[in-house]
Amino acid sequence: MINVKISGIKKLNYFENIDTITKKELSKKTIQFSKFVQKSAKLRAPRFSGQLAESIKVVKINDLKVLVVVDSPYGAAQEYGFTPNFLSSGMAVKGGYRIGDWMQAKGISGFGITPSGKPHPFIKPAVEKGLSNLPNMLQNMATKIANGAMK
Amino acid sequence: MVTINKATLSSNVWKNFFDRIKAQVKSVSTSDGRIRTVQNYTDSFPDSEIDNKDAYPIIVIESPIINWNDPPSMTLTKKKARITVNLEVYDSKSESAELLIDSVNNAIETYRKSLRDLGLRFVKLESMDNDEVFRGKIKVHVRRAVWTMEFVFTATRTY
């Protein structure tokens, strides 16, 4: 927590609304940053049906707290990898389908498959890319705050 | 060019940007003499085409983000809407992505007088950023430009 107290010269009173403007701009930039990460993660997400990419959402908790949520049960498995097991072609999956249907769509023959379990990180690289753009966003925000406070 | 007013602010701001970019940004010539023609103009990224190399370049003109919070100075009867429009170029070639975002920005910059006539003031390029993503055999280059502007309108009187 930083406390700033300015007193003395009358002109410095122009800065009295700096708190409101900073909160407003911070809120805007938080959303902007989260949306950047969301878009970047969607582009990076491994796809078969597209459900994983679709499940990446931005959830606003309050003005200064925004979450980028991967609302898919296999999101973490794709991001961090998993221990591979043999999946029989007869095994049922969500939506009334079987592993065999997926294998047929992919042109894979046999009694089943063993997925690689290799990680396909999509959130971490998206956040890293977002962080590389963050200084520009913050500079832009600082200029807006300064301009707004002087009005 | 479609008229912008309070009732059609979001849709018509988007339509003006979309029409302008679609009319002005059609293709670019790269340094190897090839011509890259824009394959799709849309309001959100077409997810189904992500791994199809032939589907690029794609230009995304996002729906405007509108904020009415700021009061305009020197008036009590009017309201000021701050508008942000995000424009994105997706391409499988870095050079053409760069050229296309320049063309997009130029198409908007040279349109500022017409936008002003429609009531959009202080149209400016606020920021740009980029991204690169590997998608199997292709690399998708993303260029983003954020344009901001203001629209002043007479607010409905209340008591």
What is the structure's pLDDT at A95? Answer: 75
Section A50-65 average pLDDT: 89
Nearest chain A CA: its distance from B133 CA (Å): 6
- Interchain proximity A47–B133, CB inside 8 Å: no
Predicted ipTM? 0.77
Whether A46 and chain B come into contact, CB under 8 Å, resolves to no
- Which of B51, B69, B126 has the CB atom closest to A140's CB atom? B126
Query: Does the pLDDT at position A8 exceed 80?
Result: no
Nearest chain A CA: its distance from B129 CA (Å): 7
Section A78-90 average pLDDT: 89
Query: Does the pLDDT at position B108 exceed 90?
Result: yes
Cα B147 to Cα A79: distance, rounded to the nearest angstrom: 33
Pairing relationship of beta strands A112-113 and A87-88 according to DSSP bridges: antiparallel
What is the 3-state secondary structure of chain B?
CCCCCHHHHHHHHHHHHHHHHHHHCCEEECCCCCEEECCEEECCCCHHHCCCHHHCCEEEECCCEEECCCCCCCCCCEEEEEEEEEEEEEECCHHHHHHHHHHHHHHHHCCHHHHHHCCEEEEEEEEEEEEEEEECCEEEEEEEEEEEEEEEEECCCCC
Section A104-116 average pLDDT: 85
| pLDDT (tens digit per residue) in B36-48 | 999 999 998 877 7
- pLDDT grade for A11, boundaries at 50, 70 and 90: low
- Which of B45, B50, B126 has the CB atom closest to A47's CB atom? B50
Cα A3 to Cα A63: distance, rounded to the nearest angstrom: 21
DSSP state of A90: T
- Interchain proximity A42–B45, CB inside 8 Å: yes
Those of residues 57-116 in A touching chain B at CB distance below 8 A are none
Over chain B, what is the mean pLDDT? 89
Residues in A closer than 8 angstroms to B129, CB to CB, are 36, 133, 136
* Residue in A35, A40, A43, A151 to test binding to B, most B beta-carbons within 10 Å: A43
Least confident of A4-8, A147-151, B131-135: A4-8
- pLDDT grade for B113, boundaries at 50, 70 and 90: very high
B78 within 8 A of B59, measured Cβ to Cβ: no
- Interchain proximity B47–A36, CB inside 8 Å: no
- Interchain proximity B69–A53, CB inside 8 Å: no
Q: Which residue of A has its CA nearest to B141?
A: A43
What is the structure's pLDDT at B94? Answer: 92
B141 within 8 A of B59, measured Cβ to Cβ: no
Whether omega for the bond prior to residue B71 falls within 30 degrees of 0, making it cis, is: no
**CB neighbours of A49 closer than 8 A, spacing ≥ 6?**
none
What is the structure's pLDDT at A15? Answer: 66
Q: Which of A101, A45, A95 minimizes the C-alpha distance to A74?
A: A45
Stronger pLDDT, A59 or A105, i.e. the higher one: A59
Query: What CATH number belongs to B6-154?
Result: 3.30.2000.40
- Interchain proximity B47–A40, CB inside 8 Å: no
- Interchain proximity B142–A43, CB inside 8 Å: yes
Q: Which residue of A has its CA nearest to B48?
A: A50
Stronger pLDDT, B88 or A102, i.e. the higher one: B88
| Residue written as token pair 């989260």 | A34
| pLDDT (tens digit per residue) in B23-70 | 999 999 999 888 999 999 999 887 777 888 888 999 999 999 998 876
Query: Does the pLDDT at position B19 exceed 90?
Result: yes
What percentage of chain B reaches a pLDDT higher than 70?
Answer: 97
Section B117-134 average pLDDT: 90
The H or E element containing residue A91 is none
Residue B102, both tokens: 């320049």
Residues in B closer than 8 angstroms to A42, CB to CB, are 45, 47
**Angle between helices B9-24 and B94-109 in degrees, nearest 10:** 120
- Interchain proximity B127–A24, CB inside 8 Å: no
The H or E element containing residue A87 is strand A87-88
Section B75-79 average pLDDT: 76
What is the structure's pLDDT at B21? Answer: 95
What is the structure's pLDDT at B157? Answer: 80
Cα A40 to Cα B148: distance, rounded to the nearest angstrom: 22
What percentage of chain A reaches a pLDDT higher than 70?
Answer: 89
Section A58-84 average pLDDT: 90
